[in-house]
Structure 1
Amino acid sequence: MTRRITQPAPQPDSPQALLTVEQVARAIRRHPEVVRRQARAGRLPGLKVGRGWFFRPDQLVAAGYSQFRGAVSAAAAAAGDADRSRVFLEALSEAGLEAVQLADQEAIFQAVGRRLAQAGVGSFFFLMAEDGQGLMMVHREVPASSAKDMPLSPLGRVYPFSKLPMLRLVCESRRPHFLGDPEAIVQRTADNVGPHGMEQARQLSRALGMRAAISAPLVAGDRVIGAITVVGPGLRQSDVTAMAAFANQTAAAMEAARLLRQSRESEEAMVEMLAMAIGLREGTVRRGPEHADLAVRLGRQLGLDDATCRRTRHAILLQDLGKVSLPDPILRRGADLGAEERAVLMTHPAVGAQFLSRFAPLAPLAPIVRAHHERYNGEGYPDGLRGTAIPIETRLIGVVNAFRNQLETAPGVTIAQALAGLREAREADLDPAVVDALAALCERAQLAGQGWLQGLRLPEGDPTPAVAQAHSPKDLLTVADSRELRIIYRIAQEMGAVLDLDVLLKRIVTIVREVMGYYLVSLLLPTGAPGEIRVGAHSGYLADIAGMTIPSGQGITGWVYGSGQPLLVPDVSRDSRYIGFDPNVHSEFAFPLMSRGRIVGVLNAESAQPNAFSDADLALLAAVSSQIASTLEVAQMHDRLKQEAMHDPLTRLYNRRLLL
């Protein structure tokens, strides 16, 4: 850790001077730390500039400290200068406080310069040249009343130290310097303003009232990074102390801004590198930068702050980071994925979030990336978030992704056609407010003739992106039923975490009931006895029916088990096979779970509404049944192995390890 060098504060040389902590402590015979505590507590009237405290004699006398009457009497003769000094010191204090709250170097220069100009003081900021042999003027600010027709040197010009003797002294000694000779100021200005230097320097001196100037070095850590010079009519030697403290504070703010800029540049480079890796892994044509820029424009349209817009930009570039862990067959096969493969594909949001959470600078992107397949109506995955529970960055990315997909369905799709497609998805997949904001943004861009909007469209006759999109797994996820995907994903997650048969059965029925919104759900398994099934798990039933057995052919579930065919019962009161456990049930649906040509179970759902089930439920369970059946087989095999391990293979008695 580098040691920060604080500039030594020069001592005031007249009774009118602003008093330091040490001077006040000697006068009132207190320790300097006591003076600081009393100033902080408000018992001593003081002014804080940077990290130091300063005191006006007249305010101390008013507070009851008669020791300072002599200083007040001497100051009365210079009341006009004192008032200007007070204004200048207050401006320094306010400018310093504003500087430390800013994260951009140029913004710091502007804020400080503007505040000093309001106090009637001109300010000039310099940064050290790359070779260390001079200073480059990077910003200046003069009072508005003085700025008209003023002969000012251009920004960005590098001045060698040979032409800046005062600033050279300041930088080499790391001490501020006061110059109170107006003619000397004019002469030094004339050396740097051009061929007609003296005439222009006098004009500048009259405009700015350059009767005095103070220069102070900008010191960050153990190096001088630049200097600041202020000029004005009311500056005094006694202001040097406050100016030194202010320069220290400004330098600290500038150094913090520099480090933040470097951190952001490193973060941006990391994001760009990962985005390139994602594109190479997917083997598709990516137009990430254009869509990231659109996301930032849309964020600003919504009034989001710069930090949120920056997170949105990075997240849209890295949303598919989790796909780098997927096997090649899943990435390349497109729409031909089976249920298990789709479940693996659906892990990529969570995997991407895990990657990002391990790298502190990108960790804030993790929840955004995790949620990028959530839908506004709650039918997305992996967490089933709904509405504003989805991060605003993710809702914005969802609209940009949908807009991109609309534009890339085929070359020549217009902006109006793409927006019309988005409006059809409002309130289902997308946040309506974000869709409306995008429409307003595009309308304004079209009226202004801004080229970036048309740049989002595919060129006529260019089939490459459309072909890539047609074979992309991402396209599959936008057209598949989201409830099916959520069931597959959640069951796959449970299978990886739980192998205990009873626990897994309970979680499966809970998942199906939660995702589908069914009134009652049960899962029945073969008992081992010929033609008999038992209730393995249930969800929503008032009575505990776990373990209840049903012979094949009896009841609706027994009939489905015996026949191997699904059955929809729109009104259970008209079906004699119905076995009732809840008087509120009016319709039922049972589906056989098949694995390798044999029935391994029956999934049963019941509803309090008549005719509640349709072919859509049949299609969905047909899609997820193989996943559920495979999960059951694995869990049943694990359960059998566990039971075998508990018994001696010869005697079938409990083995010794179980009894220990």
Structure 2
Amino acid sequence: MGRSRSSSGRGSRPWQGQPSGACRLRGHSSPASRCPSGSDPVATCGRRPLPPGRWWQPPSRTPGSIADQREGPGWRSCRPPPESFDAPAWVPKPPAPREVRRRKRRLPSLHAPVQRRLTQPIATAPAPGLLSVDDVARAIRRHPEVVRRQARAGRLPAEKIGRGWFFRAERLVEAGHEQFRPLVVAPDASDRAHAASERLVLALSQAGAEALQLLDTESIFQAVGRRLAEVGLSSHFFLLTPDGQGLTVAYANVGEAAEQLRQLTGPRPPDYVIPLDQVPVLKRACQTRQAQYLGDTNLLVERVTHLLGSDAERARKIGNLLHMRTAISAPLVARDRVLGAINVVGEDLRESHLPALTAFANQTAAAMETARLLAESRELQEATVLALTAAVSMREVVSARAVQHADLADHLAQHLRFDPEARRRVRYTAFLQDLGKLALPESILKKRRRLNAEERAVMMTHPVLAADLLKRFRPLAALAPLVRAHHEWFNGEGYPDRLKGDAIPIETRVVSVVNAFFNVTFDLPSRSVELLDEALEEVKGFRGIGLDPSIVNAFIEMLWTARDTQVDWYQRMERELSEPQPFSQGLNAPRRDSFTAADSRELQIIYRIAQETAAVLDLETLLKRIVSIIQEVMDYDLVLLLLPGEDPDELQVGAHAGRGEIGSMRIPAGTGITGWVFQHRAPQIVPDVRADSRYIMLDPQVRSKLAFPLVSQGRVIGVLDAESQEVNAFGEADLALMAAVGSQLASCLEVAQLHDRLKREATHDALTRLVNRRLLLERVEQQIESAGRSQGTFSIVFLDVDQLKHVNDTYGHLAGDALLREVANALTDAVRGEDLVARYGGDEFVVLLPSTPAPAAIVVAQRIREGIARHRVMIGQRLIAIPGVSLGIATYPDHGRTTAELLAAADATLYAQKRRAG
């Protein structure tokens, strides 16, 4: 308490060495001659002199308020003394400096905190009801720094705002400081209004956040209206008409007053349009794109009267019913387009609520725009699904009744309480389950007699083909596993994957029940409503075998309930069951007993290709088997499959079958007959290749040629080439067969290429194209197993590129990538074909040397070091050398018998070499 405070609010030093004529009352440093009250210090401050050796303390009295203490005598009433002032004789000698006294009592120094305080401006209360540190210090008679320390330590209830501490009187009273009780003010109407505003802002923020989570406009309106009703507000959503000259009421939430309001306003047609001129506030909100406030109750009633065309009394009743005292109209703007407006009505809305309501309206508009785009996307998906279904139906002999099928599946999904997204998946699965039949030959689809084993095998590929087609169309890719499983049985005896029980998607199990019902009702040659109960009993018989028992029970319960209540869709189904089958005459028509030779060969090739595709996933092996099948069945002299190489404008032989050996032949796109077919996407039959200048003579015995492009998703992925030693060996029948086989082959080829690409990406490093750590560890484990059986040996060379970080820092990370690629090239050049080079990670490489003892591995390592030293990297316009490498060698079984032990040994050798190199 020994420090004084000047009028500037800054702390001053203790009164050490101060002139004896200075007034030593709290806040006084003025000489007696300059004190406003006179020359006598006692007369100046109205207090008696202090006893010797004592400092002045504020008088002990009950404060009336903080302001009373602040304005009492002895506070900031004098100015600091000049240096030449001599203190009167009655002034006692000041005690030792406070720093000395606190040090003697072993108390922490206040000097440093005061110095920090000097660097901070005095903070005034940022809001009514808050007390500053100085206010509290005066009231509890403590130094401000002590108060600040206690606030920081939590011994005084305080709030840190910005860089200062502030206090609330009510919390100080709760902490036992009764002197602040007069400052505690009871809540008034303004506090209640502030609380109401906080509730409104909270409701608006919650409504906007909830709207952004919803996916359809009606749900958005309901959620927002419900949130606003919870705080006593009525809401109306208006949407602009396409011409922008009127508004339609999209949704209204008036709480419990809805029925009374309907009686007062009377019925309105659902498409009723309100001209903008009749609602000037909404018109101004839409045109200016700014929220409008209306706080005049009489004007609100007048607007309602004009809008409804009713008398003022009825309009006033409507106003009282809706508590229409104030209103805010905010535009709904999304993507710089005005969608409409929202009108919020309540008792105590204020102009200060405009920013919050504007932000809420923007959130709602963004949610509405998202819902609109999602609805458009779904409409596009629906149109796509219907178009694909129509394409399938055109190839079917018997009408598939796809719409009725999907509708019944949707009703069952709704009965099972599926969410809207799951119901949509059920509906689309019902539509698209036969999509794979587009890839099957018509000779199978339109066959009247029972399919033989090969034909049935081909038919059984259509779920897989449908799933492959859907995977390529991203919006419908999620349906691929559902469509693929629509022939799976609940007991696991279905196809193609023999899924069982809950492993079959629930949406597919729903569709399967509907499929079974259609098989015993609509698809029968003779049918009637009377057979419905018998059909349901037959469906029951498949419970637990082909169908999910719980879904069958739910389906039967749904039909019985629909029959009892006579819902519209059930009555429509009964009428359709009574109608004659559209193609009944076609079913009784004479059936074909035999196929043509082309049909037989087509089926055999497709069937065998389907079998190979399911059994073989390795791309190279699959290609060899496919061309062998075509060459064998068609008895061509030579069949080649040419695919784009690393250069997409160049073709290379992917596989071949027949006479002769074909090397690594490469044909530029557009060159030769095959290149022309690839470039122009058109098949070519060349009766005599010697008469065609485009032909590239590879075999002088070839006389005729057939080249067919393999097209998938609108792009050519390869060319199927057949050659013969006879002139004019190919005709239209061969071309038709190639067309039938080509679509199947293109589909299988693309799937195999995708699988091969994914497999390679999973096992190879993307930067260097070397094998990655995963494949390396697998190969090392294989070598350990092989060497353990044969008592053999092998070595690994661990390699680390030196100073890669320096290259990255100097030339950039792209230069570092180029250097790593060049190291990979150098390693590949320095080892044998059976050796494996892998990128282990970062700047580390590993070379696996099968059947290589330690001395030979040392020789290989030296060859690697010399080879890397000869390689150069072009960075911009500069040619730089590879900085160097560190090598470590480990040999099985001398340095370890497991992969981890060998790698650790090689790594230790490498770092030992680094340490020796400095």
Do residues 332 (structure 1) and 446 (structure 2) align? yes
Quickly say closer, same or farther: Cα 1:369–1:334, change in 2 above 3 A.
farther
Quickly say closer, same or farther: Cα 1:242–1:308, change in 2 above 3 A.
same
Q: Corresponding residue for 1:125? A: 237
Q: Deviations over 1:131-173 (max 9, x none)?
A: 1122222111113157524634735432222112111211121
Quickly say closer, same or farther: Cα 1:227–1:495, change in 2 above 3 A.
closer
Q: Corresponding residue for 1:323? A: 437
Do residues 421 (structure 1) and 538 (structure 2) align? yes
Once residues 427 and 185 of structure 2 are traced to their aligned partners in structure 1, the CA distance between those partners, rounded to angstroms, is 63
Quickly say closer, same or farther: Cα 1:378–1:220, change in 2 above 3 A.
same
Q: Deviations over 1:155-203 (max 9, x none)?
A: 543222211211121112111111111112112222101242x222211
Q: Corresponding residue for 2:296? A: 181
Between Structure 1 and Structure 2, whose CA radius of gyration is higher? 2
Once residues 588 and 160 of structure 2 are traced to their aligned partners in structure 1, the CA distance between those partners, rounded to angstroms, is 84
Q: Corresponding residue for 2:20? A: none
Which of 357, 366, 378 matches 2:492? 378
Q: Corresponding residue for 2:556? A: 439
Quickly say closer, same or farther: Cα 1:78–1:241, change in 2 above 3 A.
same
Once residues 67 and 156 of structure 1 are traced to their aligned partners in structure 2, the CA distance between those partners, rounded to angstroms, is 59
Which of 573, 580, 604 matches 1:462? 580
Query: Secondary structure of 2:348's match?
Result: coil
Q: Corresponding residue for 1:113? A: 225
Letter of the 2:515 counterpart = N
Q: Deviations over 1:584-619 (max 9, x none)?
A: xxxxxxxxxxxxxxxxxxxxxxxxxxxxxxxxxxxx
Quickly say closer, same or farther: Cα 1:27–1:288, change in 2 above 3 A.
farther
Once residues 442 and 468 of structure 1 are traced to their aligned partners in structure 2, the CA distance between those partners, rounded to angstroms, is 31
Query: Secondary structure of 2:303's match?
Result: helix
Query: Secondary structure of 1:414's match?
Result: helix
Task: Report matched runs for 1:349-498 at 5 Å.
Answer: 349-407=463-521, 408-409=523-524, 410-412=526-528, 414-456=531-573, 459-460=577-578, 462-464=580-582, 491=611, 493-494=613-614
What percentage of aligned pairs have identical amino acids?
A: 43
Quickly say closer, same or farther: Cα 1:63–1:268, change in 2 above 3 A.
farther
Quickly say closer, same or farther: Cα 1:491–1:267, change in 2 above 3 A.
closer
Do residues 279 (structure 1) and 393 (structure 2) align? yes
Report the alpha carbon displacement of residue 247 of structure 1 after superposing the two structures with TM: 0.5
Query: Secondary structure of 1:191's match?
Result: helix
Which of 254, 275, 288 matches 1:160? 275
Query: Secondary structure of 2:447's match?
Result: helix
Letter of the 2:372 counterpart = R
Q: Corresponding residue for 2:247? A: 135
Q: Corresponding residue for 2:462? A: 348
Task: Report matched runs for 1:468-547 at 5 Å.
Answer: 491=611, 493-494=613-614
Report the alpha carbon displacement of residue 126 of structure 1 after superposing the two structures with TM: 0.7
Quickly say closer, same or farther: Cα 1:67–1:161, change in 2 above 3 A.
farther
Once residues 391 and 77 of structure 1 are traced to their aligned partners in structure 2, the CA distance between those partners, rounded to angstroms, is 61
Once residues 125 and 247 of structure 1 are traced to their aligned partners in structure 2, the CA distance between those partners, rounded to angstroms, is 10
Q: Corresponding residue for 1:203? A: 317
Q: Deviations over 1:305-348 (max 9, x none)?
A: 11111111011111111101111111111444332222221111
Q: Deviations over 1:500-523 (max 9, x none)?
A: 79x99xxxxxxxxxxxxxxxxxxx
Report the alpha carbon displacement of residue 273 of structure 1 after superposing the two structures with TM: 1.0
Once residues 187 and 395 of structure 1 are traced to their aligned partners in structure 2, the CA distance between those partners, rounded to angstroms, is 61
Once residues 63 and 500 of structure 1 are traced to their aligned partners in structure 2, the CA distance between those partners, rounded to angstroms, is 75
Do residues 169 (structure 1) and 284 (structure 2) align? yes
Once residues 302 and 331 of structure 1 are traced to their aligned partners in structure 2, the CA distance between those partners, rounded to angstroms, is 34
Q: Deviations over 1:218-267 (max 9, x none)?
A: 01011111111111112111111110111011111111111111111111
Letter of the 1:383 counterpart = D
Q: Does structure 2 conserve the Cα–Cα contact (< 8 Å) formed by 1:343 and 1:492?
A: no
Do residues 79 (structure 1) and 194 (structure 2) align? no
Query: Secondary structure of 2:345's match?
Result: strand
Once residues 215 and 392 of structure 1 are traced to their aligned partners in structure 2, the CA distance between those partners, rounded to angstroms, is 47
Q: Does structure 1 conserve the Cα–Cα contact (< 8 Å) formed by 2:261 and 2:318?
A: no
Which of 375, 378, 381 matches 1:264? 378
Once residues 283 and 174 of structure 1 are traced to their aligned partners in structure 2, the CA distance between those partners, rounded to angstroms, is 59
Query: Secondary structure of 1:192's match?
Result: helix
Quickly say closer, same or farther: Cα 1:146–1:206, change in 2 above 3 A.
farther
Once residues 429 and 353 of structure 2 are traced to their aligned partners in structure 1, the CA distance between those partners, rounded to angstroms, is 50
Q: Does structure 1 conserve the Cα–Cα contact (< 8 Å) formed by 2:247 and 2:276?
A: yes
Cα root mean square deviation, aligned: 3.3
Letter of the 1:346 counterpart = M
Report the alpha carbon displacement of residue 213 of structure 1 after superposing the two structures with TM: 0.8
Quickly say closer, same or farther: Cα 1:431–1:77, change in 2 above 3 A.
closer
Report the alpha carbon displacement of residue 372 of structure 1 after superposing the two structures with TM: 1.0
Q: Corresponding residue for 2:130? A: none
Once residues 317 and 27 of structure 1 are traced to their aligned partners in structure 2, the CA distance between those partners, rounded to angstroms, is 72
Q: Does structure 1 conserve the Cα–Cα contact (< 8 Å) formed by 2:458 and 2:610?
A: no
Q: Corresponding residue for 2:405? A: 291
Once residues 380 and 27 of structure 1 are traced to their aligned partners in structure 2, the CA distance between those partners, rounded to angstroms, is 80
Q: Corresponding residue for 2:668? A: none
Report the alpha carbon displacement of residue 303 of structure 1 after superposing the two structures with TM: 2.3
Report the alpha carbon displacement of residue 349 of structure 1 after superposing the two structures with TM: 0.7
How many residue pairs match? The answer is 431
Task: Report matched runs for 1:195-274 at 5 Å.
Answer: 195-196=310-311, 198-274=312-388
Report the alpha carbon displacement of residue 496 of structure 1 after superposing the two structures with TM: 7.1
Once residues 367 and 281 of structure 1 are traced to their aligned partners in structure 2, the CA distance between those partners, rounded to angstroms, is 24
Quickly say closer, same or farther: Cα 1:188–1:438, change in 2 above 3 A.
same
Q: Which runs of 5+ in 2 are unaligned?
A: 1-122, 127-156, 170-183, 592-606, 626-918
Query: Secondary structure of 1:125's match?
Result: strand
Report the alpha carbon displacement of residue 455 of structure 1 after superposing the two structures with TM: 3.6
Query: Secondary structure of 1:376's match?
Result: coil
Letter of the 1:106 counterpart = E
Q: Which runs of 5+ in 1 are unaligned?
A: 1-25, 30-60, 474-486, 505-660
Higher relative contact order (CA 8 A, sep 6+): 1
TM-score (norm 1): 0.60
Once residues 190 and 242 of structure 1 are traced to their aligned partners in structure 2, the CA distance between those partners, rounded to angstroms, is 29
Quickly say closer, same or farther: Cα 1:89–1:440, change in 2 above 3 A.
same
Letter of the 1:362 counterpart = L
Q: Does structure 2 conserve the Cα–Cα contact (< 8 Å) formed by 1:146 and 1:208?
A: no
Query: Secondary structure of 1:383's match?
Result: coil
Which of 170, 192, 195 matches 2:307? 192
Q: Does structure 2 conserve the Cα–Cα contact (< 8 Å) formed by 1:161 and 1:167?
A: yes
Once residues 69 and 137 of structure 1 are traced to their aligned partners in structure 2, the CA distance between those partners, rounded to angstroms, is 49
Once residues 547 and 587 of structure 2 are traced to their aligned partners in structure 1, the CA distance between those partners, rounded to angstroms, is 20
Q: Corresponding residue for 2:77? A: none
Report the alpha carbon displacement of residue 428 of structure 1 after superposing the two structures with TM: 1.0
Once residues 257 and 491 of structure 1 are traced to their aligned partners in structure 2, the CA distance between those partners, rounded to angstroms, is 45
Once residues 379 and 347 of structure 1 are traced to their aligned partners in structure 2, the CA distance between those partners, rounded to angstroms, is 16
Query: Secondary structure of 2:250's match?
Result: strand
Query: Secondary structure of 1:375's match?
Result: coil
Quickly say closer, same or farther: Cα 1:166–1:149, change in 2 above 3 A.
closer
Q: Does structure 2 conserve the Cα–Cα contact (< 8 Å) formed by 1:88 and 1:121?
A: no
Once residues 584 and 539 of structure 2 are traced to their aligned partners in structure 1, the CA distance between those partners, rounded to angstroms, is 18
Report the alpha carbon displacement of residue 451 of structure 1 after superposing the two structures with TM: 4.3
Task: Report matched runs for 1:5-84 at 5 Å.
Answer: 63=159, 65=161, 76-84=188-196
Q: Deviations over 1:412-468 (max 9, x none)?
A: 252211111111111111111111111110111111122423543554572445677
